[in-house]
Each structure stands twice: as C-alpha cells, then as structure tokens.
Amino acid sequence: MSEARFEPLTVETLGARLATVAALTERIGPDHAAWSVREVGDGNLNLVFIVEGANGGAIVKQALPYVRLVGESWPLPLRRSFFEYHALTRQAARDPGRVPEIYHFDEAQALIVMEYLTPHVILRRALIEGQRLPRIGRDLGLFAARTLFRGSDLSMEAPARKKDLALFAGNIELCDITENLVFTDPYFAAEMNRHTSPQLDELVAQLRADRDLKVEAQHLKRLFTSAAETLLHGDLHTGSVMVTMEDSRVIDPEFAVYGPMAFDVGMLLANFWMAYFSQAGHETDGSRDAMRAYLLDVVVEIWRVFREEFTRLWETERAGILYPSTLYEDQGDPLGARQALDHMLADIWRDMLGFAGVEMHRRILGLAHNAEFETIEDPDLRASCERPALLLGRHLVVNRRRIAGLEEIHAIARRLNEEARP
Ligand code: SR1
Ligand code: MG
C-alpha cells in the first residue's frame, strides 16, 4: 500500500486497502470482510477510524492534505503524520505506557495504526459531563516532566539532540498554525476568528486595543519561535488526553516541535481553567461546585507533580549538555545545582502562565474553539463563562512576572467566576 499514491481511506475502502497489513490482521482477524469500521474523528485535522473484528480492535489515523475543520481551501502537508509517529515513539520511551502503542506506520498514505484505547473517552468530554477522574493530575504532571526533561539538553546527548532538533524543525506548517492561531490571530480581527457576539464584542475590542497585552503576546511568540529547549507535544489540551478512572493516555502529538519548556504545561493548565469557567454552562443536572473545586485541585496537582518529577530527574538523570555535575555535585557543591534548578523552575512558572493566557484567548477569540464553551447553547450564558476566562487570560499574560503562586491565581479565578454570574 505504501507505494500507492496517497488516497484517503473511507469506511467502505479501509478493509480491502489494509487487508494485507499484518499489524491489523493479527490483531483484528484475517478476514477483512468481517471487520467493522467506523469513522470517529472529531478533531480539526484528520480521519480517525475504529476497526474491530473477532480478535480485537485498532485505530487507523490518517492525515488529510488539508485542514478538515476548514476544508480543501486550507492545504496542509501529509507529513504531519510522520512527525506524529516520531513524537509518539519518543514519548513512549520517555514516559512508558502513557501514549498509545503504535502497530504500523505508512508514510506515503500518512497513516498510523495504533492501539484502540477502550473504554477510554476524551478527557474534555468527561470534564463536560462532570466526571472527576482521580488520576489525571498525577499522570499528566509526570508525562509533562518526563517528556520535557528527557527531550532536552538536560538529558540528551548532543548528537541525538541535534538530530531531533533538525528532524522536528521540518514540522513547519503545523508550527505556523500555532504561531498564528495562538499568538497573533486572537489579537486582531483575523479572517477566520469568531467569538460569542454581540455579548463579548466590547471586551474583545478592549483586548485587541490593549497594547500591553499585544506586546506580551508577541514576547511569548518570540519565546515559542526561538527557545528550542525540548521536544514539545505541541497541542497538549484536554482533547489530546483519553481517560478512564484507572488510566490516562496522551494522544495526537502532530504539532510536535522543539520549543520552550513551559509551553505544554501552560496549554494544559489553560484548558483546566477554561473547564472551570465553563461549569456554569453545564449545571442543568445540579450544582457543579464540587467539579469546580476538583478542577482547581487538578491544576495544583499537575504543577506539584511536574515540579517534583522534574526535580527528581534533575537530581538523577542530568547527564546532558547543560548544568553538568562536573561543575556542581562533583565539586562538592550540590547547592549550586539546586540553585540552577530553582532558577529554571521559576522561568518555567513565569512562561507557563503566559502560554496559558494566550491559549485561553485563542480558544474563545480565534478559529479553534473548545467544546466546553461551544456546547453551551444559550449565548448569554456562554458569554458569561467565556468572559472571566478572557480576563484571567489577560491577567496571566500581562502580569505573569509578578504572580507568586496558584493560590493567588485561583483566588482571582473564583472571584471572576462569581462576578460573572447574573
Ligand atoms: C487549523 S487547526 C486548529 C487547531 O486544531 C488543533 O487541535 C490545534 O489546536 C490547532 O491549533
Ligand atoms: Mg489534535
């Protein structure tokens, strides 16, 4: 199949076209006519099929040569599937068991056959339903610390690190999407932007006229484009995590690129904060107070676990180019290494807040919105949930250098949330 010209799969053609792929026949059953195939992709870019048969199931994910959300008018290279494949292999090595297992990769057809995660659901959907997953804070904190530390100059040897930097530098178009959609488009009337209107018009105009905000957003963009510190997931939001009560898996790293340490964590926390502000829009089945408290607790846990694990790795695996132990521990100066770590964590904290702020803005003002807000049908109610998220986002971007801790942010979040209620 890989020699053939690229052709998108359909529910009807998948069985016959992949009938000779051993990774599938071995797992699903030899007779492709007996496979059941469903297309379940609800993301912005790709086709995703669940293929099941007598022996089991698998996921077939195929890139399309355009942005699915927009259509063929926005071409997008198939090679994003190559970057996703390579990112998944690295994440699997750096945090074993946290990403789906890959069974097969076909570069020409831009498709990855991987583990069918069941009965997992998308974390974002679970949070909208009000589910409180007990493991995500710990699992996601560990995933972030391990992948970010182990993909960086703190851990990798120079040749492998330089090679990966060059490899992922080829993910130009997806990087370009992030650069525009996250850091620039929300701050002017870009063509594909949309927001809840007219309810948010006044606030949107204020944000787009806010010089301090626009300057800081571009400082953050400069960091994103120039600080190639580690291999990022690149799109680590709650739609990129699949969960059960016992398991969490991170999926979809097609936006992987070398970038700043703080980017993934910032995106992740932003999505929990947006989930927090969206709760009022999902209170039809009773109060969501406990859910709100849970979401802020998850943020605290992710950040705590991230710091603890990053610190553990710093102390036990710091064998890369940076901050060599020859300068510190080997000289009887472990405090020197600790000082360097503290500086680095302080930098990550500050930048993480900024990235979280722009992520909150782009999901409310830009092209790609979040289901937790989008599923609130009443536009007045939706706007009353989005407004405090926009305000907190602005605070994080502009004041990130002066914010001491999560307690301070959560006090502001609670107050903004109260003020937004009619
Ligand atoms: C055009 S793609 C829009 C967004 O969808 C993806 O999930 C990324 O978040 C991207 O920014
Ligand atoms: Mg995705």
pLDDT digits (tens, 9 = 90+) for 33-44: 999 999 999 888
Alpha-carbon span 189 to 219, nearest angstrom:
20
Q: Which positions ≥6 away from 27 have C-beta within 8 Å?
A: 55, 56, 57, 58, 103
Pocket test for ligand 1, best of 61, 174, 177 (most atoms within 8 A of CB): 177
| Residue 362 CA, closest ligand 1 atom number | 11
Q: State the average pLDDT over residues 42-71.
A: 94
pLDDT of residue 44: 87
pLDDT of residue 372: 97
Respond yes or no on whether the N-terminal peptide bond of residue 65 is cis (omega within 30° of 0).
no
pLDDT of residue 285: 81
pLDDT of residue 43: 82
Q: State the average pLDDT over residues 323-346.
A: 98
Residue 235 near ligand 1, beta carbon < 6 Å: yes
Taking Cα atoms as reference points, which of 418, 381, 395, 410 lies closest to residue 200?
A: 381
pLDDT band at 3 (very low <50, low <70, confident <90, very high): low
pLDDT at 254 over 70: yes
| 298 to 37, 90, 94, 98, 275: CA distances (angstroms) | 36, 26, 23, 18, 11
> Is this structure's pTM higher than 0.85?
yes
Tokens encoding 129: 């339903």
pLDDT band at 75 (very low <50, low <70, confident <90, very high): very high
Tokens encoding 146: 């391990």
Q: Ligand 1 centre from 359 Cα, in Å?
A: 11
Residue 122 near ligand 1, beta carbon < 6 Å: no
| Residue 67 CA, closest ligand 1 atom number | 1
Tokens encoding 345: 């964590």
- Protein residue with least CA distance to atom 3, ligand 1: 368
Q: What are phi and psi of 285, to 5 degrees?
A: -100, 25
Alpha-carbon span 372 to 252, nearest angstrom:
19
pLDDT of residue 421: 84
Q: What is the mean pLDDT of the chain?
A: 97
Q: State the average pLDDT over residues 11-19.
A: 96
pLDDT of residue 403: 98
Burial 56-91 (b: 16+ CB within 10 A, else e): ebbbbbbbbebbbeeeeeeebbbbbbbbbbbbbebb
Alpha-carbon span 296 to 414, nearest angstrom:
10
pLDDT tens for residues 123-133? 999 999 999 99
Respond yes or no on whether the N-terminal peptide bond of residue 75 is cis (omega within 30° of 0).
no
pLDDT at 2 over 90: no
pLDDT tens for residues 215-224? 999 999 999 9
Q: State the average pLDDT over residues 281-293.
A: 94
pLDDT of residue 302: 98
User: In this structure, are residues 367 and 192 in contact, taking their beta carbons and an 8 Å threshold?
Assistant: yes
- Number of CB atoms found within 10 A of residue 295's CB: 23
Residue 180 near ligand 1, beta carbon < 6 Å: no
| Residue 70 CA, closest ligand 1 atom number | 1
pLDDT tens for residues 178-218? 999 999 999 999 999 999 999 999 999 999 999 999 999 99
pLDDT of residue 345: 98
DSSP states of 180-243 = HHHHTGGGTT-TT---STTTTHHHHHHHHT-HHHHHHHHHHHHHHHH---EEE-S--SGGGEEE
Q: Ligand 1 centre from 182 Cα, in Å?
A: 9
| Residue 235 CA, closest ligand 1 atom number | 9
Percent share of the chain, pLDDT over 90: 97
Q: Which positions ≥6 away from 94 have C-beta within 8 Å?
A: 146, 147, 150, 151
- Protein residue with least CA distance to atom 4, ligand 1: 368
DSSP states of 243-283 = E-SS-EEE---TT-EEE-THHHHHHHHHHHHHHHHHGGGG-
Residue 262 near ligand 1, beta carbon < 6 Å: no
Q: State the average pLDDT over residues 55-78.
A: 95
- Protein residue with least CA distance to atom 6, ligand 1: 44
For residue 323, the number of C-alpha atoms closer than 13 Å in the C-beta half-sphere is: 24
Residue 69 near ligand 1, beta carbon < 6 Å: yes
Q: State the average pLDDT over residues 308-329.
A: 97
Percent share of the chain, pLDDT over 70: 99
pLDDT at 15 over 70: yes
pLDDT of residue 4: 73
Alpha-carbon span 70 to 193, nearest angstrom:
12
- Protein residue with least CA distance to atom 7, ligand 1: 44
pLDDT band at 373 (very low <50, low <70, confident <90, very high): very high
pLDDT at 66 over 90: yes
